[in-house]
Chains A and B, each alone.
Chain A
């Protein structure tokens, strides 16, 4: 699944917020009310779910469970927010203006804190701990990661993935978008839909799809049912166990992700290409530029920022890929990657310390992108 990237132009400046009397009140009482109002909605939600779990244990019908969850998820949560708002309105105006934003934004902040900020800090601490997470072992986990071949192979493969997959997906996506743009509209839409379709498929589903491409049977064990080996055999070659060929097997796994992500690159690049002003293209054609020159000198510079955004997005997706390797090879035959190794360590081997250290490695690698995103955002806010 692809996380939509941040595009600089997408960032909208903060609207000028009307100043309300008391909004920045820092008195002790107001802060207590703020914190309380932030906690009410999440607490009630969690309490309800504890009760709900009780229902689940009674083998309640799944659809009833969903129905209950929906009534609570929509109606209940809205009612809670409404109730909080009424309570805040009962306060004196000044205090109400100070507390209300926390009744609105507080629950989200609490959830983000519990599900992302707290675990991130905790994972960082755990990465210095032993397998059970009890003992402090210093940098031992990191030392193992950077010396033992299991982890070095995973890091090597992950780097190869993030170099090759975004490159291939963007290149094919760009080529396809450029070519399709020249077709009559109906053919263009049809062709693009087909390239885009794999994006709706889960990584696990895609792995199953490609199982039937790479399937291998040793000679004498029946006909090849994998199309790749059928072609090889058809041309008189010997069948190959694609996923067991050292180094190359990584490449064959990467193809699956390229297959999934090209549609994403293509759709975004295609709309960027369409936004390059037609007059500019016409003018350069009149000046005698051929199609390749128009593409190189006008189109590419025009969509450069979009290419960067698409590239970064696919890069992050690729860096975190776990399902494909987990399902296809389980990381055997030298195909492990960091994200999959991380899950294997803590989920299969119960080594929390090691899993945490690998998660930290995953995180540190995206810090530059995080910093760039925040910097862009602040620039945008400052220049309004």
Chain B
């Protein structure tokens, strides 16, 4: 990723400028290899998807692959599992996940953007040292932070509240956000900032009118990354929101269901898809940005 533009030519597709590939004569072994790996990688989720639409008794009795004998029999298929799962707590968990995720994405972006601008375009004592600490914090395991924060939260009775988890996610997401945004903002041409200054703009104006609009690609990358991270997170939600049914997010609800044994087996596939649907929608609709978000900082294109 060239930080100066922030655009990764979608790694999913060959760059548009690339000349058409010369198709070699014997592609059969290549197709075989690619097809085999793709098949292996697809079967687990495909099986789950098929299972989620089968009759509960069938899920318990036979494997999903048996549907291929009765695929056109309408008695094979049902959406009953989905309705059961949604009524059984997953609708609530889905709302909780939204309630946790949206502010947890928005707050760190705002805070990090102001900080990144200061690190990139302002001079202040401790500027380099603090940024080096930020670089160091990038790899510090989350586990280092859990116990003391849980203790503070317990003291102030903040445990199990949404604001507590928003701020925690914001704090944990900040190193990456500050790091990415600062590198991006710092690569904007300094002549741009200088001329704005000469025209009489102060820092706040340069930031809001010039730097933020120019930084939209990197802001989007981080937003998608943080969205996936928070939505799919289990550990932070488990520790700070806990197993209280009213507060469960989708991952905690799913893990609880998975732990209940054989009785709820038939609900698991549908439940799993309820937890996956939003990331998958993001995946298919924003594939280009999605890849950029995940690989931000690591792709040289």
Contact = CB atoms under 8 A, between A and B. Distances in A.
A115 B148 CA distance: 9
B34 A204 contact: no
A212 B162 contact: no
Interface in B177-223: 178-180, 183-184, 186-188, 190, 194, 197, 202-204, 207
Contacts of B51: 212
Given A77-B111, A104-B122, A259 B38 contact: no
Contact of B268 (A14, A198, A211, A374): A211
5 contacts: A52-B162, A56-B161, A62-B99, A115-B145, A272-B299
B86 interface: no
B138 A112 contact: no
B1 A112 contact: no
In this complex, the member of A3, A222, A374 whose beta carbon has the largest number of chain B beta carbons within 10 angstroms is A3
Contacts of B112: 108
A136 interface: no
A10 B6 CA distance: 10
Interface stretch (B68-76, B77-85, B101-109): B101-109
A34 to B, nearest CB: 8
A191 interface: yes
Given A17-B122, A196-B291, 15 more contacts: A1-B229, A1-B233, A6-B179, A24-B125, A73-B107, A104-B203, A105-B118, A112-B137, A122-B148, A183-B27, A195-B37, A208-B48, A223-B62, A271-B9, A362-B141
Given A10-B1, A123-B147, A200 B283 contact: yes
Interface stretch (A148-156, A159-167, A243-251, A352-360): A352-360
Nearest to A360: B144
A309 B120 CA distance: 25
A267 interface: yes
Given A15-B190, A62-B96, A119-B149, A180 B34 contact: yes
B138 A320 contact: no
Given A112-B174, A326-B255, A201 B276 contact: yes
B119 interface: yes
A102 interface: yes
Nearest to B31: A183
Contact of A116 (B44, B60, B175): B175
A335 to B, nearest CB: 15
Contacts of A90: none
A111 interface: yes
Contacts of B24: 182
Contacts of A370: 136, 138-140
Interface residues of A, number: 149
A355 B147 CA distance: 8
Given A85-B204, A182-B27, A197-B283, A108 B135 contact: no
A139 interface: no
B172 A225 contact: no
Contacts of B204: 82, 85
Give chain B's interface secondary structure class: helix
Contacts of A70: 102-103, 106
Contacts of A50: 163
Interface in A272-309: 272, 274-275, 306, 309
Give chain A's interface secondary structure class: helix
Contacts of A182: 21, 24, 27, 30
A16 B190 contact: yes
Interface of B: 1, 3, 8-9, 11-15, 18, 21, 23-24, 27, 30-31, 33-35, 37-38, 41-45, 47-48, 51, 59-65, 95-96, 98-99, 102-103, 106-107, 110-112, 114-115, 117-125, 127-128, 130, 132-149, 151, 158, 161-164, 166-168, 170-172, 174-176, 178-180, 183-184, 186-188, 190, 194, 197, 202-204, 207, 225, 228-229, 231-235, 238-239, 251, 254-255, 258-259, 268-269, 271-272, 275-276, 279-280, 282-283, 287, 290-291, 294-301
Contacts of B30: 179, 182-183
In this complex, the member of B65, B137, B143, B171 whose beta carbon has the largest number of chain A beta carbons within 10 angstroms is B143
Contacts of A377: 132, 135
Contacts of B8: 271
Interface string A299-323: 0000000100110010010011011
Given A7-B300, A10-B298, A359-B141, A108 B111 contact: yes
Given A4-B297, A342-B143, A116 B135 contact: no
Interface in A1-35: 1-7, 9-20, 23-24, 26
Contacts of B27: 182-183
Contact of B63 (A14, A16, A227, A363): A227
A18 B178 CA distance: 21
A245 B17 CA distance: 52
Contact of B297 (A7, A17, A77, A267): A7
